[in-house]
Chain A
């Protein structure tokens, strides 16, 4: 089936620094990819829709200047958490649609200390 590679799987960073998370489609091109955030023992909340060659579409309440999304190629979307703070600590997951639903990356556990 469709494969999505997400990197890194976990990262610890200092408060105030920026962290980039990569999401690659390994089998076919993905013009649209989705970024979700998941707090412990909670569900996934859509943050933004990443569109190849154009600006991302952010959900209400998500700061676009803080969560920078770049989808420069048909196989790569990146999410950069800028000036990270402890409250940004969460599990971030990317996904893309295929013929039978989503395929997700393995997720990135971000811890901001």
Chain B
């Protein structure tokens, strides 16, 4: 089974609203990362949060990590139409490769 699982699977919001996506995983991790993928394109790394960190910020992005609940959330504040994309979490447990969740498809409506 997949290590990371996002919810919701799809999310539609209006421009200016905040978008929250959640990721749950099953085993202990070294770090967790969030990526964005525009339709038909490669993935872009957004944020990496290590297992000993609880929160990180990058611009309009805020990521939290709760290792006791094995979950993470990605918050995009003041969303823009350009934020429309699929967002994936990926967990790294060792050995350099990562396991990706199924993703959340975010639509930001103008």
Asked if B54 is at the interface of the complex by the 8 Å CB criterion, the answer is no
CB-CB < 8 A to A104: which residues of B?
A: 35, 42-45
Of the four ranges (under 10, 10 to 19, 20 to 34, 35 or more), the interface on chain A belongs to 20 to 34
Contact with B along A76-113 (1 / 0, CB 8 A): 00000000000000010101010011111111010000
B96 pairs with A32, CB closer than 8 A: yes
Q: Nearest B residue to A94 by beta-carbon distance?
A: B42
Contact with A along B34-57 (1 / 0, CB 8 A): 010000111111001000000000
Chain B contact residues, majority secondary structure: strand
Asked if B25 is at the interface of the complex by the 8 Å CB criterion, the answer is no
* Candidates B42, B88, B100; contact of A6 at CB < 8 Å: B42
Asked if A54 is at the interface of the complex by the 8 Å CB criterion, the answer is no
Asked if B33 is at the interface of the complex by the 8 Å CB criterion, the answer is yes
Asked if A49 is at the interface of the complex by the 8 Å CB criterion, the answer is yes
Of the four ranges (under 10, 10 to 19, 20 to 34, 35 or more), the interface on chain B belongs to 20 to 34
Nearest-neighbour CB distance to chain B for A61, whole angstroms, equals: 14
21 chain-A/chain-B pairs, Cβ below 8 angstroms: A32-B96, A41-B105, A42-B102, A44-B43, A49-B97, A93-B42, A100-B48, A101-B45, A101-B90, A101-B92, A101-B98, A102-B35, A102-B43, A102-B90, A102-B98, A103-B45, A104-B35, A104-B44, A106-B41, A107-B41, A107-B42
- List the interface of chain B (C-beta within 8 A of A): 2, 31, 33, 35, 40-45, 48, 88, 90, 92, 96-103, 105
